[in-house]
Amino acid sequence: MTDSQIDPFFSSGVHLAFAGGLSAAASIAASIRGHCTEADAIQFHNDKVGTSYTRFLIAVLSIYRQINAQAAPVLSDIDEDNFDRAFDFLRPVIQGSADIDKTVTEDILQRTMDFL
């Protein structure tokens, strides 16, 4: 699945690309300045980008699953008639705040992943 396949739904490809570029730049600068080893910088970048893309992939797969099984309660409970609760869970991932907003804690993100 490429960003061009995801963007019509969320326009998140640009965020993921910029976040990856920023992570790469910060990692390179930290290595050049001697704040960390080159291996540590590479590992940080790979972990950061990998986490962002994995979270987004899980969100997209859950949404596609709901689209393909419209009658099934994938992103809602059986008694819910809308996806408001699902969007509350998804918002930090599809808006990118999971990567940049310090108020989005690991606990919030874990609940999101558990929900999906």
pLDDT in tens, 42-101: 999 999 999 988 988 888 888 888 888 887 777 777 777 778 888 888 888 877 778 778
For residue 1, tell me if it sits in a domain: no
* Angle of CA points 36, 40, 43, to nearest 5°: 150
80 CB-near residues (< 8 Å, 6+ apart): 73
| 22, 29 contact by CB (below 8 A) | no
Report which of 107, 66, 57 is spatially closest to residue 86, judged by C-alpha positions. 66
Report which of 2, 46, 55 is spatially closest to residue 24, judged by C-alpha positions. 46
* Angle of CA points 76, 50, 38, to nearest 5°: 160
Instruction: Count how many domains the chain has.
Output: 1
**Model confidence over 13-24: pLDDT tens digits?**
777 888 899 999
Residue 99, token pair as written in the block: 């990567």
| 65, 74 contact by CB (below 8 A) | yes
Residue with tokens 């960003």: 3
pLDDT attached to residue 47: 95
For residue 5, tell me if it sits in a domain: no
For residue 2, tell me if it sits in a domain: no
116 CB-near residues (< 8 Å, 6+ apart): 58, 59, 61, 62, 75, 89, 90
pLDDT attached to residue 28: 96
Give me the domain span that covers residue 87.
10-115
pLDDT band at 3 (very low <50, low <70, confident <90, very high): very low
For residue 87, tell me if it sits in a domain: yes
For residue 60, tell me if it sits in a domain: yes
